[in-house]
Structure 1
Amino acid sequence: MKLTGSQILIECLKEQGVDTIFGFPGGAVLNIYDELYRARNEIRHILTSHEQGAAHAADGYARATGKVGVCIATSGPGATNLVTGIATAYMDSVPMVAITGQVATTLLGKDSFQEVDITGITMPITKHNFIVKDVDKLADVVRKAFFIAREGRPGPVLIDICKDVTAACAEYEPKPPKRLPQAPIGVDEKDIDEAAEIINSAKRPVILAGGGVSIAGANKELLELATTAKIPVTTTLMGMGAFPGTHELYTGMIGMHGTRTTNMAVSESDLFIAIGARFSDRVISDVRRFAPKASIMHIDIDPAEIGKNISVQYALSGDIKKILKLLNQRVEKKEYTDWARKINEWKELYPLKYSQDSKLHPQYIIERMYELTKGEAIITTEVGQHQMWAAQFYKYTSPRQFLSSGGLGTMGYGFGACIGAQIGKPGKKVINVAGDGSFRMNCNELATAVEYKLPVIIAIFNNHVLGMVRQWQDLFYDGRYSSTTLDRGTDFKALAEAYGAIGINVTTREDVDEALKRALASEDAPVVINFEIDRDEKVFPIVPPGAPISELIEE
């Protein structure tokens, strides 16, 4: 049958099972929005306040559900406003399809109104991108984009569609989504045998679980491996929830703001097994002194990651879930070892701690958040001190429960992601842990949350400064607080109420539970809780720049 390009796009989205799109209209996508209006009973469009909010919402939707997130923007500034969200998704391997409008094919390359080379701009931050100049190719491009976004190591794909293509007609034939191929194990049986033998003979092994474990759905296989061989497990920031934070073998996060137990265990280990992690600088710090006594085994679906940042003695590149299943058939069952007991001693000696005085401490707020939600909320974060407190003091027990910008470190990410996660998981309570600096970057999305009656909670840890930057200035720049003080007099409670949300101020420890319970009881309105905390609160432990991870500052 003959359809316009816009109709073909919508039909292809329906083929792919898309039920939600986050976006903002404009001239180059008017034809598409006209068809979205007609398809409004099948595809829900969420109108965000800013295109960057749409990209982050699509990202949060994808992370929370495991589906492909979809966002749309017009040409020029609309498209460029998606760039930070696309880069955020790329760094954290999030499956997303970004659709942008483009000027008509006859106007390309002429500096036309709202023309920008968005495929050129996004080439380094997408798995692939397309510009569609021929309506006959549109359907195939859309189908390829969704396949590429999901296949192998997931990531964002951009489709740039010229406006005349959305109006032109072509033959359309429905097709079911292309099934993802069975991911190859990627390694020989002898490689698995050797890896199992190495694990069985290790005296002081440690497992690092990264975000790839959750993406692969391999958390059960990881749990079996760790409990069978009694191997302590740490996680990266992106790996939160891949291994239960309440488990006796869990040692806490690794790296710059990791626990002393974890960083000591890694530094004393004789076998370091990294699974679905990319050895970022925040994990390894001084590469020459990382895990100095250990052989390193790296299991990852992306062969480009193996050996990229650190030398690896044992490489297993392929499907993580399948590799772990094969390892579990070969790994010997062990009782608690001296090594596991030593780790438990360190956990007793070096717990995460903070002052127990009567002040309102952010760590206490996170602990109460955990208790009152019974550890079942989806937590999104902005970027900064609050992000680390949320990682350290909330115990994540399942994948897709902690959504945070790990690779790019995007301030302003969390609220959009919170909106996307709430829409993707309407039965869950979703809380965005924010700093006042980050919230200033995305508070406009309160209009979105109010319009769609989303019962999200925004917990602002308001210290009136850019907390993490100020902490570095205090520790490493002799207290020269250059441009990090935010005493701007903004009344966040009044701001929330102006948008139609519920606003709450909390200044004392005694008021924390009442505020959180009130917020958790909301069923059809967002709640902003402004927690007034001290500007000199710091995230500890911290590894100074250039130091090995075993050399932590703890207070």
Structure 2
Amino acid sequence: MTETVGDYVLRRLRDWGVELVFGYPGDGINGLISAFGEADNQPKFVQSRHEEMSAFQAVGYAKFSGAVGVCMATSGPGAIHLLNGLYDAKLDHVPVVAIVGQTARSAMGGSYQQEIDLQALLKDVASEYLVEVNVAQQLPNALDRAFRTAQSRRVPTALIIPADLQEQEYVPPQHAFKQVPSSPPSTPRTVPLPPEDEIARAAELINAGNRVAILAGQGARNATEELMRVADITGAGVAKALLGKDVLSDELPYVTGAIGLLGTRPSYELMRDCDTLLIVGSNLPYSQFFPDFGQARAVQIDIDGSAIGMRYPTEVNLVGEAKATLRSLLPLLERKTDTSWRETVERNVADWWATLRDQAMLDADPVNPMRVVHELSERIPEDALVTADSGSSTNWYARNLRMRGRMRGSLSGTLATMGAGVPYAIGAKFAYPDRPAVALVGDGAMQMNGLTELATIARYWRQWQDPRLVVCVFNNHDLNQVTWELRAMGGAPKFEESQSLPEVPYAEFARLVGLDGMTVDDPTDLGRAWDAALTADRPTVLDVHCDPELPPIPPHATFDQVKSMTEALLKGDPNAWHVLTQGVKTKAQEVLPSAR
């Protein structure tokens, strides 16, 4: 039987080891969809409820698996819907290949239905590689370059294939003028290393320091053992960028937790007091959370030379893969004999975890959102996959969840888009169908798109060896992060018309689509609810009714932020008194040891 262009695309995807394509059908990709049928659904087509969710699922799959995520959409509106997920991939440096349909070639330029300029649409998000395939002979080179570019540069790439071409006979490129061949799919691994003299300079700088701090990001994920050895020799404390939350276990006494807007007090203190900084695989954008300029001498390690020296004035810049570079650095490091710095770091960390515990146990109306994650942290399996959405619940993921064992976690870090938590968890489950997953999601994000993706979970969960996927909804009827930003950054009171959310029975909805669902409005029931959800025989939604007035203010809040919040309350915030009392109780746990 004649092999069509659509058939060839799927064959080449299989050659690349692609097992899953996240997508949504449409007539702009009919030739590709029919090829899935001819290929007995190999690779597997995973149908979301919306193309944006397909892109997020591909990003989540790529983040957790380390493989290239693949998403597919029809022309026009389908391609437009992919954009948010593809930008999420671009900003978090995630390899994703998008395959998009286009109007038939004979109709292009005729203002045909669903015809838009896809190259103009995608040229920014897929700036590293974007191509429209107009003859079959282009295909091998175009598709292979899309994969090789996505892999090597950790970016999204895009392939546009007109609808009529998909149904035509595939003809390979010839050994002829103006035809370009390609080589068989392969994934060559390169391990770039900095020059030896630069590594020696870095060691000399670190050895000269007395108070060493390490900032680890997602680029250090494969260098856990090396980071621990460097911290041991240098007596360093280690702070983690939010995308690197799973790089090191929070059970290590010198790991200070998250840094930045959602960071911890010991991470703030680590940067405030250090005299030497080693940045490994992080491009944290908030320079105000680094040491004061001139305070610390700094070394940065990153595989991407364009990211070096962007956030802090570093003296030695090592362009190389984190694991190999740290291995080369380790023999040159001198063990610190003065342990006072490490002892201070560990004491700060221990005090902070005690503070978080006490804050989580504060009374609230009805449930303290910090306690939701605290109770999860006490019982989460050591191989769990955790995703978080964007909103006030992200604060509690960042600060209160203790990573340990083989736990993995991620979220939309740089784009910080709402709506990624549930589709990320679906992508994670397809990456590791034998491991439990937990999605921590605000009610705003859940109403935005999480509810519809419960239907996707209901469709596929029986295909996973481990059926556990817990979606925890922080239900406070408020777009809470923005409410607090209005108060703390703008000095404006909560504006009910924009901030308040309608009531939705999330647990009941889950049960309607065949999942389990539990509603929790009593904090003493939280532990039992988590136990039940984490041992259930199917995915479960926890609808937790949370107090919206527990402040997600960071422990290093500036005077101006506190002043702005106070002004907002005085201007007539509808919940001013409750906000004030909850804020005072929460902050008291940080500044008054006797309160514990």
TM-score clears 0.5: yes
Work out whether residues 479 and 501 of structure 2, in 8 Å CA contact, stay in contact via their aligned partners in 1.
no
Structure 1 unaligned runs (5+)? none
Query: Is 1:361 the counterpart of 2:363 in the alignment?
Result: no
RMSD over equivalenced CA pairs, Å: 2.4
For the Cα contact (< 8 Å) 1:461–1:533, is it kept in 2?
yes
Stretch of structure 1 that moved more, 477-486 or 263-272: 477-486
Q: Say yes or no: does 1:513 pair with 2:495.
A: no
1:137 matched to 2:131? The reply is no
Q: Does 1:124 align with 2:124?
A: yes
What is aligned with 2:273?
268
Q: Give yes or no for the alignment of 1:301 onto 2:306.
A: no
Aligned 1:116-515 pairs, distance under 5 A: 116-126=116-126, 127-151=128-152, 153-172=153-172, 176-185=184-193, 187-214=194-221, 217-281=222-286, 284-285=287-288, 290=292, 292-335=294-337, 337-351=339-353, 352-353=355-356, 354=359, 356-359=361-364, 360-397=367-404, 401-442=408-449, 443-453=451-461, 455-482=468-495, 483-515=497-529
Query: Deviation per CA, 1:32-81, whole angstroms, max 9, x where unpaired?
Result: 01111122353211111011111111111111111111111000000110
AA matched with 2:494: Y
- CA distance change for structure 1 residues 417 and 240 in 2, over 3 Å: closer, same or farther? same
Compute the displacement of 1:180 (Å). Answer: 2.3
Shift of 1:487: 4.1
Q: CA, structure 1 residues 478+192, in 2 after alignment: closer, same or farther (shift >3 Å)?
A: closer
Structure 2 counterparts to residues 91-110 of structure 1, below 5 A: 91-110=91-110
| CA deviation map 1:329-349 (0-9, x unaligned) | 222234562111121232344
Could you tell me which amino acid in structure 1 is paired with residue 524 of structure 2?
A: E
**Residue of structure 1 in register with 2:573 after alignment:** none
Amino acid at match of 1:505: T
Number of the residue aligned with 2:11 = 11
The 10-residue stretch of structure 1 (482-491 or 448-457) with the greater mean CA deviation from structure 2? 482-491
Contact 1:273 1:298 in 2 (8 A): yes
Q: C-alpha deviations, 1:355-398, integer Å up to 9, x for none? A: 53344222222122122224431110110111120121111236
CA distance in 2, matches of 1:271, 1:63: 31
Query: C-alpha displacement at 1:219, in angstroms?
Result: 2.1
The answer to whether residue 56 in structure 2 is matched with residue 56 in structure 1 is yes
Matched with 1:530 is 543
CA-CA distance at 1:307 after TM superposition? 2.7
Distance 1:543 1:88, change over 3 A: farther
2:5–2:136 Cα contact (<8 Å) kept: yes
Q: Is the 8 A contact 1:242 1:399 kept in 2?
A: no
Aligned residues: 544
Q: Matched residue of 2:313: which SS?
A: coil
| Separation (CA, whole Å) in 2 of partners of 1:2 and 1:294 | 66
Confirm or deny: 8 A CA contact 1:8 1:172 kept in the other structure: no
Quick check: 1:84 aligned with 2:71?
no
**Residue 195 of structure 1: CA displacement?**
0.6
Q: How far apart are the structure 1 equivalents of 2:430 and 2:66?
A: 13
Cα gap change, 1:336 to 1:432, in 2 (>3 Å): farther
> 1:35 & 1:434 partners in 2: Cα distance?
36
TM-score between both structures, scaled by the size of structure 2: 0.86
1:537 aligned counterpart, secondary structure: coil
| Structure 1 residue 543, shift from structure 2 partner | 4.8
Q: Residue 22 of structure 1: SS of its match in structure 2?
A: strand
Query: Is residue 115 of structure 1 aligned with residue 129 of structure 2?
Result: no
Q: Matches of 2:261 and 2:102 in 1, distance apart? A: 43
* Distance change >3 Å, CA 188–CA 488, structure 1 → 2: same
Q: Which has the larger radius of gyration?
A: 2
- Is the alpha carbon distance of 1:115 and 1:57 closer, same or farther for their aligned partners in structure 2, counting shifts above 3 Å? same
The 1:178/1:355 distance shift into structure 2, 3 A limit, reads closer
Task: Name the CA distance, whole Å, in 2 between partners of 1:150 and 1:109.
Answer: 34
* Distance in 2 between residues matched to 1:545 and 1:406, nearest whole Å: 23
Displacement of 1:494 in angstroms is: 2.1
**Structure 1 546/408 Cα, relative in aligned 2: closer, same or farther at 3 Å?**
farther
Conserved in 1, the CA contact under 8 Å of 2:384 and 2:406? Answer: no
Structure 1 residue identity aligned to 2:345: I
Once residues 163 and 140 of structure 1 are traced to their aligned partners in structure 2, the CA distance between those partners, rounded to angstroms, is 19
Deviations 1:101-123 (A, max 9, x none): 11122222333211222332222
Q: Counterpart amino acid of 2:313?
A: S
Unaligned runs of 5+ residues in structure 2 are 174-181, 462-466, 562-582, 588-596
